[in-house]
Amino acid sequence: MDKNSFDKTLFEKINSKSLELKDYTVKNLSKIIQVKAMSNDEKDRIILLKNLCKKAGADEVRIDGLGNCLARVGLGNKKIVIDAHIDTVDVGDRKLWEKDPFSGDFDDKYVYGRGASDQLAGAASMITAIKILKDIGYKGFNDYSVWFSFTIIEEDCDGLCWKYLIEEEKFIPDFFISTEPTSLNIYRGHRGRMEMEVKLQGVSCHGSAPERGVSAAYLASRAALAIEKLNSELKPDKDNFLGKGTITVSMMDVKGPSQCSVPDIARLYIDRRLTEGETREIAVEQVKSYISEATGLDKDKIEVTVPKYSKPSWKKKLFSQDLYFPTWVYPESHPLIEIAKQTYINLFDKRPMIDKWTFSTNGVAVAGLHKIPSMGFGPGDEKEAHAPNEKVRIEDLVKASAFYSAFPFVIC
Task: Please say if 349 is a catalytic residue.
Answer: no
Neighbour-count burial for 325-356, b at 16+ CB within 10 Å, e otherwise: bbbbbbeeeeebbebbbebbebbeeeebebbb
User: Which neighbouring-strand residues pair with 71?
Assistant: 61, 148
68 near 151, Cβ under 8 Å? yes
Residues 6+ apart with CB under 8 A from 55: none
140 near 74, Cβ under 8 Å? yes
Q: How many C-beta atoms lie closer than 10 Å to residue 242's C-beta?
A: 26
| Catalytic option among 42, 83, 87, 158 | 87
Distance CA 348, CA 335 (A): 20
Type of residue at 88: T
Integer-rounded Cα radius of gyration of the chain: 24
Distance CA 123, CA 131 (A): 13
Distance CA 265, CA 213 (A): 12
Distance CA 137, CA 263 (A): 70
Quick one: CA torsion of 68, 73, 79, 80, rounded to 10 degrees? -90
Type of residue at 58: A
Distance CA 251, CA 270 (A): 7
Type of residue at 180: E
Residues 6+ apart with CB under 8 A from 381: 117, 181, 183
Distance CA 90, CA 319 (A): 23
Task: Please say if 42 is a catalytic residue.
Answer: no
| Catalytic option among 64, 105, 154, 390 | 154
Put residue 101 in one of left, alpha, beta given phi > 0 → left and psi -120 to 50 → alpha: alpha
Angle at 377 between CA 122 and CA 82, to 5 degrees: 60
- Active-site residues, by number, are 87, 154
